[in-house]
Structure 1
């Protein structure tokens, strides 16, 4: 049997259509005869071929659809995030740039800038006040598309994203200068999604409401440069001691290089890193076409250098700190930038700093001290120089104004002044002998005593027992009252030991209290501010004469000067003698030599010097008549140059002429020459009638022995 198919057996489309048509006609012609017949007569449905997507094209279309929907969903989610975090900022109608914290510009009497104070450390400066390369250095280093973007830099964001993907970690930030301004002005430094969204919104708002120059000016005046300097002017003053108006190209590049990490790149603490950052900033400026290769090479610092010339914070910073503390008393709360003119003499201020540092460097190690302070003022109480410590960079603690230390015997003049006001005179005879009063037993150095002695000489040689007897006799309350009248503000306890300077005072108030002896008896209030103005020139404060007025009589001034002159002519303060100038003063050394002071004056100047250690460690072989007196003399020699020599004020005349000092063969410190023993006038006031242990003074055989004894044992 032949099973092969013939052409007629194959069903093509025509045959299929023909058969279908024949069947349809047959069905129409044949009557229906029941259910089975009906089923059989139902025509066969034709099947359509399935349409299939072809290969890669279909896959690409699918991806595009998915991408479109993904972008749409991401856009909706992003919009929701923006709306959510943007709503936390409130309406943009309420947004405004906050005021910059006020700056206090502190000037010396000649207009020299001492320092800036306030939260920023420098005043705001205008964009057009700066050399052209200063803003360009910042743009090239921080945001090279700053002039073209709208506040956010999509190109920069994409570049950072690619870098971070390759490195599998965030490589760098992508914030524009405008975003940094937004962050500094309005936001906290938190690195969160919400903060970044708000930063971007605020940046766009800034770009719509401010010019590029205004935004860059905001940035330069608000950005932090390290070392407490906020703003380009503060940075220029802090690191280079100049105004930002005078920055060189190399300095501008170095400041621009600081910005990514001020604590790590500033030239004061990390000079090598600062030099490397300067090189990068200059290279960025060359890349952007702002400067040439030759200009960059000329401006860069030799990378082999181990340091960068930067400004060293001098002693004038102590003055600026003091001025800042006074502002509330003068103006209340400061809201705008102000300019404060002071009484400080710039040249003398730097000289004071020099002599103090030199003395500590030369003698500090051998004598075991590392700190010093100096105050110098004119006879009206205007402070002309002030040193609060040896190195402001190491310690900002002001030992001239803030510190309270025991003045030792430098306080005794106020005990003696109280006695003069009660009828004593420099020629009153006292007795130096052991003393016990209600359990208190003050002693002299080496526990040696000289017996009868004039008040003048007791002060000149700083005899403790005589000062104690005076305080007991007139009452310590009267000593305290006298001290307050002369300007002390420390809280004193009225106890007999106050006579030996055991209660703490500041060097500033101690020095000011000596001023009435130099000016004829007028009380003063130590002053450093002469004028305060706004930056526009509006006068907010003008110095006016102040003080308690005449507090001492001419005779009292004369008697005090008579006694205190003896102290520098023959007593413990001989090391302070100032050539041909009549002068007076008093030394002071506290218990265990923890403090050493000298306060002296002429008819033109008053000054005080303190040496010691912050931790109260005792010094070695130190007294107020040694290094402190020497520092005082070195400073005052310069201060008196060009001045006319003048006598100290006062009308007191000694009751009798006195002869030469012991080294010349006569009596000592105003005592008449005698062949033996001790003579003198009877006391004009009775000696204190208080319970005490009586002991006969040691006999003294000759005037020379008296001088030797006093010079040897009363050197405090």
Structure 2
């Protein structure tokens, strides 16, 4: 082999190797330098303010500290919180430049001596690099990238900013991202309300949240807490007295305290979404106290009894509206809201079935029809549309009252056809229906072929329980900032949409439906109840909407997959009755 060929064989691979490493590293450096994790962290979808959500009787439903503002130097990290994580995760945080060679060497020696992986050696800055720019892949390439990014982060940002990024983003188990969420999940507190013992327990979760979770193994969590406290003492961050006091403190987790937070993210998120709609300038506030309309006792009762609806994978939703204010007193979104991610009260748009029939009957009464007026309840076709009554049971010539009581399909279809579908649609819109799924001039709409959500159909029935007044449903009574400064208060705005006589006649129909008709499953001896059941094809959707006293409550039962069921609308009516009997302390058979 001549000398030229030899040099070529040596130099060519070297060039490829050099550029194969050099360019990716240069690109990584350029990308990191151009990125601004501080800005991205502040503009995340996380709530920009601390909040406290109260029930209607001023019990705490939820409270959460906002994430640390990485751009605001005046937003400081509490002392114990700062040094609990530094003692536990990165003792030399303020001394190294993003990579701690001393700590890395110590971890390596300890791991070799113990013949196990006891220490990771990653600095807090390296963990930030992994949290924001990388992933948790165990590879040599990822570790090199992590170290390069850490050096750049330490060069670009202050230690305080890096620590805030870490505390805002670290996963601490049970769905908690950041110490603010961990404070809420484990103790139901704001960050500044945490004791030294509680701070140490949260810091102890960082290495392995699933292993050290107090919800999974309280003894191991306490042992880890004690280890953090000992480190803080040895590092000079707490006194011997503070350490001993924290060691003696009994751990009281969120579910163990009397006024525990509700474990219902969907309900809390809905309240926050509504608050943000009300206060367009919510980003300027650092704290909001939101008084919701939720009755905490009713909410817990509804959630408890919903667990026993079977079969296991069938779902349920319930909403209770105070009829003469529009305030939402109860909102059950699922049998298991702690793992549920879908609000079936507001987001599930399902065929309304016979619950919609109140609209054509209302239209008939508005047009001057009387409850005693007769209609032919017989098999009827409209061109090629030939609907049936339930069980193909026809009653011949019957009054409006009898047809509604027996939930005839033929009669409301005849009403809609005679009056005109446009008038039916306009009236439905007036009641707040037909916006989730636009109503078209299609005859089957008269018997509930179109869909809507549980909140809207329940609020439509609340009109009949409030003398024909339509209120906008609301889950918030008032919002205050710090020092109880009033920002917004519910004014209960409403409009009259039904004349008193029409409203009275419609309630007559609803009362007959419960006392003598298809909705009898909801009847309670000695109580006046106004309601209607509804069912979609093959029992896929089971409804009951009913009013008692000044409360209108809607229930939906069905499968998320829209499967047919072996239940009936009577099950929805009975669940309604069970819930109502519990909250009003009524005896039922």
* 1:353 and 2:303 aligned: yes
| 1:196-229: CA deviation from partner (whole Å, max 9, x where unpaired) | 3553465477668x5xxx9867754453324442
SS of aligned partner of 1:588:
strand
Of stretches 137-146 and 425-434 in structure 1, the one that deviates more from structure 2 is 137-146
Checking the alignment, whether the CA contact within 8 Å between 2:200 and 2:228 is kept in structure 1 is no
2:292 aligns to what? Answer: 342
2:466 aligns to what? Answer: 519
| 1:171-204: CA deviation from partner (whole Å, max 9, x where unpaired) | 8543444x36864898666946575355346547
Alpha-carbon separation, structure 2, partners of 1:194 and 1:150: 15
Checking the alignment, whether the CA contact within 8 Å between 1:426 and 1:562 is kept in structure 2 is no
Checking the alignment, whether the CA contact within 8 Å between 1:122 and 1:229 is kept in structure 2 is no
2:456 aligns to what? Answer: 509
Checking the alignment, whether the CA contact within 8 Å between 1:313 and 1:393 is kept in structure 2 is no
2:8 aligns to what? Answer: none
> How big is the shift at 1:145?
4.5
> How big is the shift at 1:456?
0.8
Map of 1:606-625 to 2, 5 A cutoff? 606-620=552-566, 622-624=567-569
- The change in CA–CA distance for 1:119 and 1:429 in structure 2 (over 3 A counts) is farther
* 1:583 and 2:515 aligned: no
* 1:456 and 2:456 aligned: no
Alpha-carbon separation, structure 2, partners of 1:434 and 1:118: 63
Checking the alignment, whether the CA contact within 8 Å between 1:587 and 1:599 is kept in structure 2 is yes
Alpha-carbon separation, structure 2, partners of 1:278 and 1:464: 64
Alpha-carbon separation, structure 1, partners of 2:255 and 2:478: 33
SS of aligned partner of 1:229:
coil
SS of aligned partner of 1:393:
coil
- The change in CA–CA distance for 1:397 and 1:194 in structure 2 (over 3 A counts) is closer
> How big is the shift at 1:496?
1.5
Checking the alignment, whether the CA contact within 8 Å between 1:181 and 1:215 is kept in structure 2 is no
| 1:657-690: CA deviation from partner (whole Å, max 9, x where unpaired) | xxxxxxxxxxxxxxxxxxxxxxxxxxxxxxxxxx
* 1:637 and 2:581 aligned: yes
Alpha-carbon separation, structure 2, partners of 1:86 and 1:480: 59
> How big is the shift at 1:544?
3.0
SS of aligned partner of 2:459:
helix
- The change in CA–CA distance for 1:121 and 1:496 in structure 2 (over 3 A counts) is farther
> How big is the shift at 1:610?
0.9
| 1:425-471: CA deviation from partner (whole Å, max 9, x where unpaired) | 21112221111111111112221212121111211121111122212
* 1:320 and 2:268 aligned: yes
Alpha-carbon separation, structure 2, partners of 1:584 and 1:95: 56
Task: Extract unaligned runs of 5+ from structure 1.
Answer: 1-80, 302-306, 643-716
Normalised by the size of structure 1, how large is the TM-score?
A: 0.64
Alpha-carbon separation, structure 2, partners of 1:215 and 1:496: 63
- The change in CA–CA distance for 1:240 and 1:479 in structure 2 (over 3 A counts) is same
Task: Extract unaligned runs of 5+ from structure 2.
Answer: 1-24, 137-141
Checking the alignment, whether the CA contact within 8 Å between 2:188 and 2:261 is kept in structure 1 is no
Checking the alignment, whether the CA contact within 8 Å between 2:67 and 2:180 is kept in structure 1 is no
The match for 1:330 among 278, 283, 290 is 278
Checking the alignment, whether the CA contact within 8 Å between 1:151 and 1:203 is kept in structure 2 is yes
Alpha-carbon separation, structure 2, partners of 1:155 and 1:589: 70
Map of 1:427-506 to 2, 5 A cutoff? 427-488=372-433, 489-490=435-436, 491-506=438-453
> How big is the shift at 1:394?
3.4
Normalised by the size of structure 2, how large is the TM-score?
A: 0.77
Map of 1:217-256 to 2, 5 A cutoff? 219-244=166-191, 247=194, 251-256=198-203
Checking the alignment, whether the CA contact within 8 Å between 1:107 and 1:114 is kept in structure 2 is yes
| 1:10-62: CA deviation from partner (whole Å, max 9, x where unpaired) | xxxxxxxxxxxxxxxxxxxxxxxxxxxxxxxxxxxxxxxxxxxxxxxxxxxxx
> How big is the shift at 1:374?
0.3
Map of 1:528-547 to 2, 5 A cutoff? 528-534=475-481, 540-547=487-494
2:150 aligns to what? Answer: 199
- The change in CA–CA distance for 1:117 and 1:250 in structure 2 (over 3 A counts) is closer
CA-atom RMSD in angstroms:
4.4
SS of aligned partner of 2:473:
coil
| 1:71-96: CA deviation from partner (whole Å, max 9, x where unpaired) | xxxxxxxxxx99x9699748x9x999
- The change in CA–CA distance for 1:299 and 1:329 in structure 2 (over 3 A counts) is closer
Checking the alignment, whether the CA contact within 8 Å between 2:301 and 2:583 is kept in structure 1 is no
| 1:226-271: CA deviation from partner (whole Å, max 9, x where unpaired) | 4442332311222344444555666544422321244665456xx2
1:568 aligns to what? Answer: 514
2:539 aligns to what? Answer: 593
Which has the greater radius of gyration? 1
Alpha-carbon separation, structure 2, partners of 1:153 and 1:517: 70
Alpha-carbon separation, structure 1, partners of 2:263 and 2:32: 48
SS of aligned partner of 1:462:
coil
SS of aligned partner of 2:407:
coil
The count of corresponding residues between Structure 1 and Structure 2 is 536
SS of aligned partner of 2:439:
coil
2:367 aligns to what? Answer: 422
| 1:570-599: CA deviation from partner (whole Å, max 9, x where unpaired) | 112222234444221111111111111110
Map of 1:265-344 to 2, 5 A cutoff? 266=213, 271-272=216-217, 276=220, 278-286=222-230, 288-289=233-234, 316-326=264-274, 329-332=277-280, 335-336=283-284, 337-339=286-288, 340-344=290-294
1:653 aligns to what? Answer: none
Checking the alignment, whether the CA contact within 8 Å between 1:108 and 1:345 is kept in structure 2 is yes
Alpha-carbon separation, structure 2, partners of 1:165 and 1:355: 55
Alpha-carbon separation, structure 2, partners of 1:252 and 1:589: 52
> How big is the shift at 1:563?
1.1
> How big is the shift at 1:280?
3.8
Checking the alignment, whether the CA contact within 8 Å between 2:172 and 2:178 is kept in structure 1 is yes
Alpha-carbon separation, structure 2, partners of 1:537 and 1:231: 28
- The change in CA–CA distance for 1:353 and 1:205 in structure 2 (over 3 A counts) is same
